[in-house]
Structure 1
Amino acid sequence: MAGHEPAPLFGARQALDDATIRARTDSYFNRTHEIVSRFGDCSVTYAFFLRRPVISAPRLMCAWLENVAREHGEAIDIELAYPEGAWVGAGEALVYVTGSFAFLSPLETLALQKLGPACVAAHHAYQMAVALPGVKFLAMEARHCAGFEMQEQMAYAASVGGATARTDGAVGFIGCANDATAHFFGAKSGLGTMPHALIGYAGSTVRAAEMFHETYPDSDLVALVDYFGREVTDGLAICRRFPELAAAGRIALRLDTHGGRFLEGLDPQESYAVLDRNTPGTIRRYRSEKELRHLVGTGVSAAAIWRMREQLDQAGFDRVRILASSGFDVEKCVSMADAHAPIDAIGTGSFIPATWTETYATADIVAYNGEPRVKIGREFLLRQKTERATHE
C-alpha cells in the first residue's frame, strides 16, 4: 500500500481472532459472512469515507486490516485515495480496500471505528496549529479518552494534523503527555512536569518548583502558577528563586486558571484595558459571546496571557515562557490568534471531536468481482474509483 509505513500500534494488534471479531461486529455483517460463504464468495472493493471535510489519518485502520488478513492468510489490497495528512473533502473516499467479501464483511464495523475519529481529530489539530503557527502544541488527550484505544487514535491524529500544519509553516504538535504514544511524535517519552497535586503536597508553588528542580535538574522548569490564585505573584517568585534558569530561558509558567475566576489582578474592566494596551482593535472584532469570554473573560483568556507577559517583562524576565492550557479548542485558538496572545506553548486535548456524530465513517462496496456497482445515492464513490483508474 503506497504511503503506508507500519508502526508499533497497539490498536493494530487487537481483535485478531474470529470469536472476538464476531462478538464486536454488527450482526448483519456476521450473517452476510455466513450467506456469502454458503452461496459463493467474490472479490469486492470497499470505499471508506466521511460526510465532512477531514485530514486523512487511515494508518491505524489500515494496519489493523493488514494484521487481521495476515493472521487469517487472506490477501487484501489497500489503496489510499489520499496520502496520510492530506485534506479530504466531504464525501470523498479516503481508502479503497479490495479482498474476499466473506472475509471483509465482518471487519467493517471495527474498521470504521478506527478511521472516522482519527480523521476528524487530525483536522481539528491541524486547524489549531495553523491558527497559531508560532506556538508549540502538546497533546494532552489521554485523560479525556475512554480507554487506551481511543487515546492511541487521538494521539496519532494530533501527530498527523500537526505534521500537515508544519508543511504550512506552523510548529504544530511536538509531543504528547505519556510514553505509550510518544512514538507518533518521534519521541521515546511523554512531556510534562507537575500537576496541581504536587503543589498541594508541597504547600507552596515555589516549594513545588524547588522539589521538581532538585529531582530533575537537567530539565526545563515548567511550573503551574494558579493553584493558590496568585499567578503573577507566584510566577515572579519562581523566577526570582531561579534567576539563572529564567535568564537562560529554561522557565515556563503554565496558566491553567479556573474558569470560575479571573487571573490575579484582573477583572472585567482591567481585562479590557490590558487588551487595549497590547492589541488595540481586537475587542471590537469579536463576533460571539464565546469569543468575548476567550478574550476578556474568566480563566485563561487572552487578557490573562497578556497581563502575565506584561508582568514578566516589567520584572526583567522577558525570556520566561508562557504555556497555556484549559479548553484550547479550534475556536479558542482562533480567538487567541486574533488577540496576538503571546503564548509560547499550549497543552490541550481539545482536538478530540466534541460532536461525536461528526466522526462517523461509512463504507460502501463499489465493485463486485471487478464490476462497478454501488447503491443509488453513492454513485460519487463509483465515479471517483472509475476516474482514478482512468487517470492511472
Structure 2
Amino acid sequence: MHRDLTRFPAELFQFDPRIRDGWLSDRYFVRAAATLRHSRRNPNVTMQVFPRRGGMVAGLYECVRMLQTQLATGYDYRDLEVWTLRDGDRIEPWDIAFRISGPYIAIAHLETIIDGVLARRSRIATNVSNAVAAAGDVPVIYFAPRHDDWRIQTPDGYAARVGGGQSVSSDAGAAWWGGEGVGTMPHALIAAFGGDVVAATLAFTRYVRDHEPEIPVISLVDFGNDCVNDSMAVARAMRAEFGEDALHGVRLDTSGLLVDKSLVGDEDLWGREDLRGVNPHLVRMVRAALDA
C-alpha cells in the first residue's frame, strides 16, 4: 500500500457509521446484496473505477480507508485485493484509477459512496490544478466554501490541496493536513467602519500585529468603487502609522456590474472592451499608481 496512506488514518475521515448499513447507498445495491444472501450466492467480483474525461484523481486514500473499516459485517479488508493510483496522479479517459476484487456482498453497499467520493474529489483537484497551471507563479487560494454546503468544506479543501492550491479559506478546509484558513479583510469589515477602507485597514493591522503577527496585511480597496485613490490612501496611511512595507498588498474585487471610477472617463476603451468588474486595465492603473 502507498506510503502516503500513513498520513491519512481512518479516523481522519470520520466515516458515518450508517455507511455499513447501506443507508447512504443507492438502494438497489443494498437489495442486490440482500438478494444474493437470500439465494445463498456470493460470487467474487472485480470492480473498476475509471473516468470518462482525463484529469487529476483524488479521494483514493479515503476510499481505501473506507474499505478497511466499512465492509459488510463479517468481512475483513484481507478478503479483498485492492489496486489504486495515488492522490494527485494524472489520468486519461477510461484508464483505471481504482480496482477492487473480492466477495460481492462485502462491497456492494460501497459502490455508490466510492464513486461519489472519487468523482467529487477528482473534479475539484482537476479544476484547481487547471487554475494553478493558468496562474503560473501566482499562488492559488481555494475560496469555495461560500458557494457550497458547509459539510463538504473539509474534503473539498483537501482535494483543492491535491490539485496544487496553496491554501484554503477556512480552517475546516485545511483540517486533513493540519493547516489553517487564510484571508484578511472582507467587505463586511469595511462596512462596519462606515465604508472607510483606511480606518478598517488600520484597525485590522493593529489587531494582527497584537494577535496574529504572521498574517500579511492585504487591504480590500474596491468598497468605494475607487480602487486607485483608495489604494493610495491606504498605502499612505499604513506608511504613516506603521512604516515602510507594512502593507503587503491590495485586493481588487469590483462587482461585475460596476465600472471603477478611474475607468469611467476612458472613452478610448469604452465600446471596445468590457471595463466592468476587475479587468487588466484597472489592475494596471492601480499597479502604476502604487509604483509611482
Shared fold, TM over 0.5: yes
Aligned to 1:304: 282
Are the structure 2 counterparts of residues 189 and 126 from structure 1 closer, same or farther at C-alpha, using a change threshold of 3 Å?
Answer: same
**In the alignment, does 2:116 pair up with 1:113?**
yes
Aligned to 2:193: 202
Gap runs ≥5 in structure 1 = 163-172, 274-291, 315-392
Higher relative contact order (CA 8 A, sep 6+): 1
From 236, 242, 247, the counterpart of 2:244: 247
From 153, 156, 166, the counterpart of 1:154: 156
Aligned to 1:177: 169
Q: CA deviation at 1:270?
A: 6.1
Aligned to 1:27: 27
Q: CA deviation at 1:84?
A: 2.0
Contact 2:75 2:106 in 1 (8 A): no
Aligned to 2:41: 40
> 1-side partners of 2:101 and 2:254: how far apart?
51
Q: Which amino acid aligns with 1:193?
A: T
- RMSD over equivalenced CA pairs, Å: 2.7
Contact 1:3 1:84 in 2 (8 A): no
Are the structure 2 counterparts of residues 300 and 24 from structure 1 closer, same or farther at C-alpha, using a change threshold of 3 Å?
Answer: same
Aligned to 1:313: 291
Per-residue displacement from partner, 1:156-187 (whole Å, max 9, x unpaired)? 2211110xxxxxxxxxx221111122245x55
Structure 1 segment 64-213 matched on structure 2, within 5 A: 64-69=66-71, 73-75=75-77, 76-80=80-84, 82-149=85-152, 151-162=153-164, 173-184=165-176, 186-203=177-194, 204-213=196-205
3-state SS of the aligned residue for 1:96? strand
> 2-side partners of 1:36 and 1:48: how far apart?
23
Are the structure 2 counterparts of residues 71 and 189 from structure 1 closer, same or farther at C-alpha, using a change threshold of 3 Å?
Answer: farther
> 2-side partners of 1:71 and 1:157: how far apart?
30
Are the structure 2 counterparts of residues 33 and 143 from structure 1 closer, same or farther at C-alpha, using a change threshold of 3 Å?
Answer: same
Aligned to 1:226: 222
3-state SS of the aligned residue for 2:222? coil
Per-residue displacement from partner, 1:107-158 (whole Å, max 9, x unpaired)? 1111211111211221111111111211011111111122322x23321221
> 1-side partners of 2:11 and 2:231: how far apart?
40
> 2-side partners of 1:250 and 1:9: how far apart?
42
Q: CA deviation at 1:4?
A: 4.3
> 2-side partners of 1:111 and 1:98: how far apart?
14
Q: Which amino acid aligns with 1:233?
A: N
Aligned to 1:258: 255
Q: CA deviation at 1:241?
A: 0.8
Superposition TM-score, scaled by structure 2 size: 0.86
> 1-side partners of 2:130 and 2:219: how far apart?
27
Are the structure 2 counterparts of residues 235 and 187 from structure 1 closer, same or farther at C-alpha, using a change threshold of 3 Å?
Answer: farther
Superposition TM-score, scaled by structure 1 size: 0.65
> 2-side partners of 1:306 and 1:9: how far apart?
49
Per-residue displacement from partner, 1:160-217 (whole Å, max 9, x unpaired)? 110xxxxxxxxxx221111122245x55321111211110001210111111111111
Q: Which amino acid aligns with 1:220?
A: P
Are the structure 2 counterparts of residues 128 and 136 from structure 1 closer, same or farther at C-alpha, using a change threshold of 3 Å?
Answer: same
Q: CA deviation at 1:309?
A: 0.9
> 1-side partners of 2:55 and 2:179: how far apart?
28
Higher strand share: 1
Contact 1:21 1:107 in 2 (8 A): no
Q: Which amino acid aligns with 1:188?
A: G
> 2-side partners of 1:8 and 1:77: how far apart?
19
Per-residue displacement from partner, 1:341-368 (whole Å, max 9, x unpaired)? xxxxxxxxxxxxxxxxxxxxxxxxxxxx
3-state SS of the aligned residue for 1:121? helix
Aligned to 1:235: 231
Could you tell me the percent identity over the aligned residues?
24
3-state SS of the aligned residue for 2:50? strand
